[in-house]
């Protein structure tokens, strides 16, 4: 290889190498800037959504604690209004962890499903004057929804390094978990009693037939 060929090859390699280094540096900078921007959007979303979930949780506690009041006819009526949930629209949902995004965006569907069940109980299983089954279903559903929202808000703050809500003076989790457990235990007891009744009925029927 002649001297001029060596010089030309060296220049070519240097140019290509410099261009490659410049390109890789540019791509790394773009990726880093993109990641910083994504994290900024995710943190903003976590702040906005948590700020919506916090009052939602406290409203769930109010519903769970509602034992109703008697109207002039002696019928038991609710003394609280179930909360509504309006998630912010000015956020980039793709910026957060996909599993967290799924939990947040699934919450409105969970609420809608619970409300349908409560309405069904009111129409089919419950009646005046106490509407006992309706109140029980209402407490059970909103306790569960409150716990879901509480966990999501906690995990959003934890994932994006935001300070947790101070519940040192009053922790809504205590009231929500207590109500959920109580209603769940009543359901399990009711289901077991129903099984025993069915079993006795079948045994009695078999004895009569025999």
Which sequence spans correspond to the domains of the chain? 3-197
The reported pTM is: 0.76
Give the model's confidence band at 36: pLDDT under 50 very low, under 70 low, under 90 confident, else very high: confident
Q: Which residues pair with 76 in a beta bridge?
A: 70
Identify whether the C-beta of residue 144 lies closer than 8 Å to the C-beta of residue 61: no
191-207 residue pLDDT tens: 554 455 445 445 555 55
What six digits make up the tokens of 3? Answer: 């001297």
| Rounded average pLDDT over 102-114 | 97
Cα separations (Å) of 107 from 116, 155, 160, 209?
14, 14, 20, 52
pLDDT at position 193 is 46
Classify 6 as helix, strand or coil.
Answer: helix
162-194 residue pLDDT tens: 999 999 999 999 999 999 998 878 776 655 544
Name residues whose C-beta falls within 8 Å of residue 184's C-beta, 6 or more positions apart in sequence: 140
Q: Secondary structure of the chain: what % helix, strand, coil (to 5)? A: 75, 0, 20
Percent of the chain with pLDDT strictly greater than 90: 67
| Rounded average pLDDT over 47-75 | 95
Q: Which residues pair with 77 in a beta bridge?
A: 69
């Amino acid at each position: 290889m002649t001297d001029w060929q060596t010089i030309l090859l060296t220049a070519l390699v240097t140019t290509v190498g410099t261009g490659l280094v410049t390109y890789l540096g540019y791509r790394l900078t773009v990726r880093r800037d993109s990641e910083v921007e994504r994290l900024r959007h995710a943190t903003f979303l976590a702040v906005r959504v948590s700020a919506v979930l916090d009052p939602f949780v406290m409203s769930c506690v109010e519903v769970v604690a509602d034992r109703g009041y008697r109207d002039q006819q002696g019928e038991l009526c609710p003394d609280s209004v179930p909360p509504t949930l309006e998630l912010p629209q000015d956020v980039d949902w793709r910026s957060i962890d996909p599993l967290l995004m799924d939990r947040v965006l699934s919450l409105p569907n969970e609420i809608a499903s619970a409300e349908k069940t409560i309405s069904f109980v009111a129409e089919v299983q419950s009646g005046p004057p106490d509407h006992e089954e309706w109140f029980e279903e209402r407490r059970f559903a909103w306790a569960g929804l409150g716990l879901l929202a509480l966990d999501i808000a906690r995990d959003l703050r934890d994932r994006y390094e935001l300070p947790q809500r101070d519940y040192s003076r009053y922790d809504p989790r205590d009231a929500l978990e207590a109500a959920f457990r109580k209603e769940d235990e009543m359901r399990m007891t009711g289901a077991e009693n129903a099984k025993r009744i069915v079993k006795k009925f079948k045994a009695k029927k078999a004895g009569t037939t025999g």
